[in-house]
Structure 1
Amino acid sequence: MYAVIKTGGKQYKVSEGDLLKVEKLDGAVGDTVELSEVLMVGGEKVSIGTPLVPSASVVGKIVEQGKGKKILVFKSKRRKDSRKLRGHRQPRTILRIEKINA
């Protein structure tokens, strides 16, 4: 069984036991998170939502809270001797999908 969920403005196809890197969710390591924005549930019988599947949810456990890889943002203006270098690390959460409720 698999599901398509929406969190953090992105869509993910998940199944039970998957590790998933998503935008930061509130909670500590070991907490259980229920994601209720389920767009589709597949398996023997496919259910497609309009836009969400009613009474469907995905339960996951927070494995890690942290930051992603550093990206460098470099801005310069030609002939002006103007340069700016900034780094950014996006906060992220790693979830282990435990159960899909259809």
Structure 2
Amino acid sequence: MFAVLKTGGKQYKVQSGDILRVEKIAADAGEKVQFNEILMVGSTVGTPIVAGAAVQAEVIDQIKGEKVIHFVKRRRKHSSQRTKGHRQQLTLLKVTEILEKGADKTGVKTAVGAGSVDAGKPAAKAVAPKPAKGGDDLKKLSGVGPALEKKLHEAGVTTFAQIAAWTPEQVAAMDQKLSFKGRIEREGWIEQAKELAKG
């Protein structure tokens, strides 16, 4: 028996025992995950999904896809060219079971990745945590606007003292977490934060 499941904005036709590469799912190697957005099972076609159907799989590993080179060059614009590389984060799965009815969720993690939502529950609205009382105005830092300040608050950074105390490892982790790509060192946030924390 085969099933057609949807995850990460894509559809996959699977059978028990298939090895599958899908958009990254928040699960560790060895964990069992369950897909609830099933569009078709055998000859049963969903409207849009098949009620009660599920596909269970075991996570083999978190991997990266092939490197894709993106090159942009504008004609008649001297020195206007840009090369970017990208490797998509993927999850390697082994399909263990296709459940046509009575999908059991006990002990199995619901697979939620890019574009996937648990079919049984409405998508919860993301609520940004409010900055702690007495938090500093991080927009005083060079290059920080309202959007970037919100990201810093979500990461738990609300004061200049926190930024001033960052170690090189914490700077690298924050660069990676918030896709800053060297902005912290380039803009001199730590030095600015030290001055602002004093004043």
Whether TM-score is above 0.5 comes out as yes
Amino acid at match of 1:34: Q
Give the equivalent residue in structure 2 for 1:30. 30
Give the equivalent residue in structure 2 for 1:95. 93
Instruction: From the CA coordinates, give the structure whose radius of gyration is larger.
Output: 2
Amino acid at match of 2:98: I
Give the equivalent residue in structure 1 for 2:79. 81
Deviation at 1:58, TM superposition (A): 0.3
Q: Does 1:49 align with 2:67?
A: no
Deviation at 1:78, TM superposition (A): 2.0
76-85 or 64-73, which moves further after superposition?
76-85
Residue from 42, 60, 63 that aligns with 1:63:
60
Deviation at 1:30, TM superposition (A): 0.5
- TM-score under structure 2 length normalisation: 0.49
Structure with the bigger percentage of strand = 1
Deviation at 1:85, TM superposition (A): 0.7
Which whole-Å CA distance do the structure 2 matches of 1:99 and 1:89 have between them?
A: 30
Higher relative contact order (CA 8 A, sep 6+): 1
Which ranges in structure 2 are unaligned for 5 or more consecutive residues? 101-199
Deviations along 1:8-39, one digit per CA (max 9) or x if unpaired, are 00111000000011000001000111000001
Which whole-Å CA distance do the structure 2 matches of 1:89 and 1:81 have between them?
A: 26
- TM-score under structure 1 length normalisation: 0.94
Amino acid at match of 1:52: I
What is the aligned-residue RMSD (CA, Å)?
0.7
Amino acid at match of 1:91: Q
Instruction: Tell me the percent identity.
Output: 46
SS of 1:78's partner is coil
Deviation at 1:66, TM superposition (A): 1.3
Equivalent pairs, count: 99
Which whole-Å CA distance do the structure 2 matches of 1:48 and 1:19 have between them?
A: 23
Amino acid at match of 1:73: H
Deviations along 1:30-72, one digit per CA (max 9) or x if unpaired, are 0111000001101xxx211100000000000001101100000
Which whole-Å CA distance do the structure 2 matches of 1:84 and 1:53 have between them?
A: 46
Deviation at 1:90, TM superposition (A): 0.5
